[in-house]
Amino acid sequence: MGMIKRFKDWSIRQKLFSTYVLLILLPLVIINFVSFTLFMSSFENRIVNSFKDLNQQIIANSDTFLKNILKISEKPYYDQQLVDILAKDYSTVEYEMFERSQDYRYVNDTFFKDLLMFNNDIDSLVIYPQTGSYVYRRGYEVIYNYNYSPAEETWFKRVVGSKGAPVVIGLHKEKQVSSPVKDVVSVGRVIVDSNSYRKLGVFIINLKSEALSTLYKGLKFSSDVEQVIVDENNTVLFSTNKSEIGQAFDTVLGRYNPKLSANLGEGGSIGDYYIVSDSSEISGWKFYSIIHKGKLFSEANQIRRLTWYTLIPLTVIAFFAAYILSRRISRPILDLSRKMRRVESGEFNVTFMLDSRDEIGQLGRAFNKMTREIKSLIGQIKEEEHKKRNAELNALQNQINPHFMYNTLTMIKWMSQAQRADNITEVLDALIRILTFSTRNTEEYVTIEEEVTFIRYYMQLLQLRYYHAFTFECRVSEEVLSYRTLKFIVQPFVENAVFHGFIEETRTYKLTLDVERVENAVLFIIRDDGVGMEKERLQELLHHAEECSEKMNSIGISNVFKRIQMHFGTAYGVDIESEWKSGTTVRIRVPLIADGQHVNGKGVEANESVDR
C-alpha cells in the first residue's frame, strides 16, 4: 500500500476524527445534492412544460390564421363568372381585346378588390391562367413585373403538383407584383373546373411578412426565451428577434451554440440551452422555444450558491466538532496506552487516573487492578523462587555424588572378580552401564541405538535376577539406529511383561523386541507369551494410562502415554493387545526424528522436514 497507511493502522484519534467527519459531512452533502437536484428537476420540468403550452398556443393562433386564408383560397370555386373567364377561349370571340379588358376589370376590380377589402393581412393576389401569357394581379403596390414567370420556382412547382389541394408556402421572394422584391408568405391552389375537371390556372395569395407578428402580440414572451417559427425550407418566418427573420435556422442556432444545429433533433437539453420543439399539422412549420438556462435559472443558481455558502460553514463546524470529540475520547485511551507500555517495560508502580463511569473508566480500573495483582504475583514468585533455591541447596547438600557410587560399584566388581564370583561381576557390570546411561545423559531424546542398548543391559539384569526364567530376543532394523526417540519408552513395558506376565515357574517364557521403520514412523513391537490380561483388566489399564492416573509410577505406562501425546500429538502413541493365557503385544509408534532435528510439543516442527 506504499506510504498510505491502512485504516486499521490509523491511530484511534484518526479513526474517530475521520468517522465523525464522514458521518456529519456526508449526510449534509447528500441532502444538499439530492434536494437541489430534485428542486432543479421539478423547476426545469415546469419551465419546459410551460413553454410547450406556449408553443401549442402559438400553433393554435397560426393554424387559425392559416385556416382563414385557406378558406379564402376556395373563393374561385364559388365565383362562376371567374371560372368562365379562366375557361374562355378568346380566339373565338369577335372583339377579343374588348372582352379581355372587361374580364380583366372584373377580376381585378371586383374579385380581387373584395378579398383585399375584407382581409388586411393579404399583401397581393395573383392568378396565373392555364392558357395565355397574361397574369391577373392586384396589390397595394401597383408595380408589375411583366417579364417574371414563376414556372421554375420550387414553391410554384409544389402548388402545381398538389392536384387542387391548397399549399402553404413559407417565406419566399415575391417578384410578380412588388418592386423592389420583398419577402412574403403565401397560400397557393390550382383552380380546377368542377364540371370538366380541367385545370384553369393557379391562384396565389401572398401574405404580408409582418402578418404573423400581429398574431402573437397578446402573448407574453420572456426576455430569456426566443420564439422562432421555421418554414418547410428551414427559413425563419417569425422570431422575437426580428433581425433573424429570413435567415436560415441553422445560422440562428449557430450564434447560440455551434453544437445546437447539429444535435437539435426534436428538442431537449443541449449545452446551456433548452430547446422546446413542436410542429403544425396544417402548415408543416416548426415552432421552437430556445431557453437560455443561465438567465432563466438565475434564481435557482442563487439558491444553489446560498446552499453552498451555508454548507461551507457547516462543514467547518463539523470538522471542529469532530476534532474536539475525537480528542476527548482518544486522549484517555492514549494515556492508558502509554501507561501500559511503561508496565510492559517493567514499571508496575503506575496508576491510571480517570473518574468516569464509561467503558474507558472501567478499562482504567481493570488496568489498576491488573497492575496491583501483577505486583503481588511478582512478590509471590520471588518468595517461591527463594524457597525453591533453598530447597535445591538442601537437596544438593544431601545428594550423594554419582562418581562415588560408580567408584564403589567398580571396587565391588573387582573384589567379586578376585573371588571368582562371575555372576556378581556380570550383574554389577550391567548395573554400572544402566546407571551410567541414566545419569550421564540429561536430554529428553536419545538415539534408538542408545535406547536399545539400555534395554539389553536392563534385560540382562532381569534374566540374572529370575535365573533365566525367560529368553529375550531383540531385532532392530539398521536404518533406524541413528534416529532419535524419547528416553525410557520401552523399559516400562518389558518390566511389566516380566513382573506380571511371567508368573509360572514351571516353564520358560519368551520376550521379543522388534524395532522397524513403517512409512514416516518408527514402530517398537514388544511381544511376550506370558499369561496376558483379561479384557476388563486391559480396559482398566488403558483407561488409567489415557487419564495419566497417579496409581501408576512416573516412569510407568501412564508416563509413556503422556509424554508421547505431549511431544508428538495424537497421531502417535501406544497400542496394547492382550488375551488371557495368550500373551501380550505392545506397539509404540513415534515419528522419524533425524539427529539435530528440533521437536516441539506437537511433533517435528513444520519448517523442518522429517527424514524420509
pLDDT tens per residue, range 47-65:
777 778 877 888 888 888 8
Tell me the C-alpha to C-alpha distance, in Å, between residue 501 and each of 175, 468, 508.
Answer: 143, 15, 12
pLDDT of residue 526: 95
pLDDT higher than 50, residue 379: yes
Residue with the larger pLDDT of the pair 356 and 540: 540
pLDDT of residue 13: 67
pLDDT of residue 495: 87
One-letter amino acid for residue 603 of the chain: G
Quote the cell numbers at residue 202: 393557379
pLDDT tens per residue, range 302-340:
777 777 777 778 778 877 777 787 777 777 777 777 777
pLDDT tens per residue, range 386-406:
665 654 444 444 444 454 455
pLDDT higher than 70, residue 418: no
Chain center to CA of 601: 44
Residue range 419-434: mean pLDDT, rounded: 70
Q: Contact 588/514 with Cβ under 8 angstroms?
A: no
Q: What are phi and psi of 111, to 5 degrees?
A: -65, -55
pLDDT higher than 70, residue 106: yes
| Whole-number average pLDDT of the chain | 78
pLDDT range class, residue 270, cuts 50, 70, 90: low
pLDDT of residue 354: 66
Beta strand segments in 339-486, E: 445-447, 470-476, 484-486
Residue range 481-509: mean pLDDT, rounded: 87
pLDDT tens per residue, range 559-577:
788 888 888 888 899 999 9
pLDDT higher than 90, residue 190: yes
pLDDT higher than 70, residue 237: yes
pLDDT higher than 60, residue 94: yes
DSSP for 557-588?
Answer: HHHHHHHHHHHH-TTSEEEEEEETTTEEEEEE
pLDDT tens per residue, range 80-92:
888 888 888 887 8
Q: Which of 284-293, 534-543, 570-579, 585-594 has the lowest mean pLDDT?
A: 534-543
pLDDT higher than 70, residue 597: no
Residue 587 pairs in a beta bridge with 525, 575
First to last CA, the chain: 42
Tell me the C-alpha to C-alpha distance, in Å, between residue 509 and each of 129, 457, 464, 470.
Answer: 151, 18, 14, 4
**Other beta carbons less than 10 A from residue 371's beta carbon:** 20
pLDDT of residue 543: 67
Percent with pLDDT over 90 in the chain: 12
Quote the cell numbers at residue 154: 420550387
pLDDT of residue 149: 85
